[in-house]
Structure 1
């Protein structure tokens, strides 16, 4: 699967690694993606989400119901 957060949409960043000799090679910075299970009381079921550390903080702040509603408005299937 891709390294993309389902809540915030964070994806890998790309750039260069610069060595001591100043030689540049391509690299990527992956977001801290984790699989978390949340309980949706309105539907009486659990959902598994691939979220970044920032996405977990957003869910803690806004609540899982609000975040799932926002994801569904974007057209994402849960």
Structure 2
């Protein structure tokens, strides 16, 4: 399963772990994705979606369809 938010498009970032000796190792910074069941009142049903916590916070404030529009 890909680690991409279906709403915001957030995906893993690539960077380096840098030690005190300045050795560099590649690392991935993964987005905080959650599998959620969101009730859409306009459709009168639940929708399963994998979204980031930032998108979840915005959906709680504005609603899913207004956020997508």
Q: Same fold (TM over 0.5)?
A: yes
CA root-mean-square deviation? 1.3
Superposition misfits of 4+ residues, deviation over 4 angstroms: none
CA shift at 1:38, angstroms? 0.6
Match of residue 48 from structure 2: 48
Moved more, 29-38 or 52-61: 52-61
Q: CA offsets, 1:26-78, max 9 Å, x none? A: 101000000110111222211011111111111022212223x43xxxxxxxx
User: What TM-score do you get using the length of structure 1 for normalisation?
Assistant: 0.78
* Bigger share in strand: 2
User: What TM-score do you get using the length of structure 2 for normalisation?
Assistant: 0.87
Whole-Å Cα distance in 1 between the matches of residues 31 and 39 of structure 2?
A: 24
When the two structures are aligned, how many residues end up with a matched partner? Answer: 69
